[in-house]
Chains A and B, each alone.
Chain A
Amino acid sequence: MVDGSAEDMGLMNNFTVLVVDDDPIICKVHDLLLKKFGLKPQVVENGRKAVDLCLACGTFNLILMDKEMPVMDGVEATRELRAIGVNSLIVGVTSRGSPDEKKAFMEAGLDFCFEKPLTPEKITILLHELNQNN
């Protein structure tokens, strides 16, 4: 069980999170997983919307970025976000792919790259990172 685990670990969890993914199933799973840690994610379905949202509303502490999406993919979105000066923790979320793909995605400006779906253990790692940086 993961309820209340953020508090148990002595970690703050009042961070803003953006989930960027075109798969409704992944969005639903990640949404509940994050909620279990006390986080309240916003969800958009492609990179273009993610960039527009960051430009309009200011940035997020954590952005979970899918790689393959229509309109604008994760690699391009990450590059654009970094280019406009966004320094959120950007975490790539990919399906089991080639190491080259992961490398290209990391080079676009990711802080981490995980395979999807995310697990409680990976969220814990990210919470530790966020606590360290803030």
Chain B
Amino acid sequence: MDVVQLQRQLVDYKASLYNEAILDEQFTQLQELQDENNPDFVVEVVSLFFEDSERLLNELTKALEQQNIDFKRVDAHVHQLKGSSSSIGAQRVQKVCIAFRNCCEEQNVQGCLICLQQVKNEYSLVKTKLETMFKLEQQILAAGGSIPV
């Protein structure tokens, strides 16, 4: 595939992520912060997000497996996940976190378990999509092209 085709593919791919609300305006802000002095900023921030999220999802799973669930602790983790997903523009993850926090407030165990599964699904989805997007960008750069804005 030639560079122009790859670039077009990337533009369409990015557009679909916004259309499906997988990413929002905040992700655009991150891209705008990246420049020649900070060429890997977006990848660095996203990698931090992946690490942080995976840690939080593990903690949440453990916390919700307990006999006596500490809802304050669960809520604290969800709050963190909500914050970081919001920072990178992972809108759907953030939305589930809002519902998740409501379930914590109501001490609704079933609700929490459902939200946990939903947040894992949404996280998985945004991770896959971002990784695919980065791969496309790498392909364009390797073919000598530049990333379209």
Chain A residues packing against B (C-beta within 8 Å): 1-3, 22-26, 28-29, 32-33, 36, 68, 95-96, 116-117, 119
The A contact surface, by secondary structure, is loop
Q: Which B residues are in CB contact (< 8 Å) with A25?
A: 45, 48-49, 52, 83-84, 87-88
Contact of A23 with B83 in the complex, beta carbons under 8 Å = yes
Question: Nearest B residue to A33 by beta-carbon distance?
Answer: B33
Q: Which B residues are in CB contact (< 8 Å) with A1?
A: 32, 35
Contact A119:B29 (CB < 8 A) given known A3-B35, A26-B83: yes
Contact of B44 with A28 in the complex, beta carbons under 8 Å = yes
Does B26 make an interface contact (CB < 8 A)? yes
What's the A-B contact tally at a CB cutoff of 8 Å? 49
Does B113 make an interface contact (CB < 8 A)? no
Chain B interface bracket (under 10, 10 to 19, 20 to 34, 35 or more)? 20 to 34
Q: Which B residues are in CB contact (< 8 Å) with A24?
A: 48, 52
Question: Nearest B residue to A66 by beta-carbon distance?
Answer: B83
Q: Which of A25, A33, A96 has the most CB of B within 10 A?
A: A25
Q: Which of B35, B38, B44, B84 contacts A23 (CB 8 A)?
A: B84
Binary interface encoding of chain B residues 89-131 relative to chain A, with 1 for a CB under 8 A from any of its CBs, else 0: 0000000000000000000000000000000000000000000
Contact of B38 with A32 in the complex, beta carbons under 8 Å = yes
Q: Which B residues are in CB contact (< 8 Å) with A29?
A: 30, 33, 45, 87
CB distance from A124 to the nearest CB of B (A): 14
Q: Which B residues are in CB contact (< 8 Å) with A32?
A: 33, 38, 41
- A–B Cβ pairs within 8 angstroms, 22 of them: A25-B45, A25-B48, A25-B84, A26-B84, A26-B87, A28-B44, A29-B30, A29-B45, A32-B33, A32-B41, A33-B33, A36-B33, A68-B79, A95-B82, A95-B83, A95-B86, A96-B86, A116-B83, A116-B86, A116-B87, A117-B86, A117-B87
